[in-house]
Amino acid sequence: SHLSYCMSFACYMLIPKQMRVNGFPCKDPMAVNPEDFFNPAMLDQPRDTKNSKVGSNVTNINVINFPGLNTLGISLARIDYGPLGVNTPHIHPRATELLTVLEGTLYLGFVTSNPNRLFSRVVKKGDVFVFPKAMIHFQMNLAHDKPAAALSSLSSQNPGVISIANAVFGSNPPISDDVLATAFQVEKKLIDWLQSQFWENNHY
């Protein structure tokens, strides 16, 4: 099981040891050690994208695999993109994301709430772009022959992710094809075909 640690002084002083914060139990402050603040994440190492249908691989460092982050309101993710790889449209319901390009050139953007305005641009190594909390956003590697990589900082220890295509066409049980056919103004057979596809999660 994943045990989380409430690392703030206030948490130690005010929260009983067995109480949960953000769904994770606090660790006894007397048992905390330097290793609780460390994670051998190897974020300098590229991840494999060849087995991904969308050509990207997201490596998350959050409270699930780094319990010491609990209550601290921050997490990280390394995103690797194969040639023309896409981090498909998704949202983080609990976090704003600040993305720094480590290698390559990306086309990226986000869409606001109604009236759904797109803010997008091309960014290169060293550039920084911010995706506001809970906005649909995406990235694509523009290179046909080279990988790209980015590092994202997120304003929550557990930002969550909802991949739009996965949620709409890959939910279990599926959304009624009548509902989706009306929403997308297409024939039901197209919706049925889309729902029959294998919807991949690239956020590991």
Summarised one tens digit per residue, pLDDT across range 75-133 is 999 999 999 999 999 999 999 999 999 999 999 999 999 999 999 999 999 999 999 99
Annotated binding site: 87, 90, 92, 97, 137
Strands 97-103 and 20-21, sheet pairing = unpaired
Same structural domain, 192 and 152 = no
Q: What is the pLDDT of residue 12?
A: 43
Number of domains observed in the structure of the chain:
2
Write down the pLDDT at residue 10.
44
Residue 91 and residue 108 in one domain: yes
User: What pLDDT, on a 0 to 100 scale, did the predictor assign at position 9?
Assistant: 44
Is-contact 123 100, C-beta < 8 A?
no
R_g of the chain computed on alpha carbons:
19
Residue 127, domain member (yes or no): yes
Are 119 and 184 members of one domain?
Answer: no
In this structure, the answer to whether residues 106 and 150 fall within a common structural domain is yes
Judge whether residue 144 has pLDDT over 90: yes
Residue range(s) defining the domain that contains residue 179? 166-197
Distance CA 176, CA 48 (A): 35
Query: Quick check: is 147 in a domain?
Result: yes
**Domain membership flag for residue 8:** no
Q: What residues form the annotated binding site for Mn(2+)?
A: 90, 92, 97, 137
Measure Cα distances from 197 to 136, 169, 171 in Å.
22, 8, 12
Is the residue at 187 inside a domain?
yes
Residue 67: closest CA among 16, 151, 6: 6
Q: What are the pLDDT digits (tens) for 13-69? A: 445 556 677 777 777 778 888 998 999 999 999 999 999 999 999 999 999 999 889
Q: Please check whether residues 124 and 178 belong to one and the same domain.
A: no
Q: Which residue has the tokens 């691989």?
A: 57
pLDDT of residue 194: 94
Instruction: Measure the CA–CA gap between 185 and 178, rounded to whole angstroms.
Output: 10
Cα–Cα separations (whole angstroms), residue 127 to 51, 57, 70, 122, 123: 28, 20, 29, 10, 6
Question: Considering the domain boundaries, does residue 12 fall inside one?
Answer: no
- Domain at 151, CATH number: 2.60.120.10
Predicted TM-score (pTM) of the model is: 0.87
Q: At what angle do helices 177-184 and 188-196 cross, to 10 degrees?
A: 110
- Which residues make up each annotated binding site for oxalate? 87, 92, 97
Instruction: Output the pLDDT for position 198.
Output: 73
Q: Are residues 56 and 78 in the same domain?
A: yes
| 53 located within any domain | yes
What is the overall mean pLDDT for the chain? 89
In a domain, 73, yes or no: yes
Model confidence pLDDT, tens digit, residues 152-189: 999 999 999 999 999 999 999 999 999 999 999 999 99
pLDDT of residue 33: 86
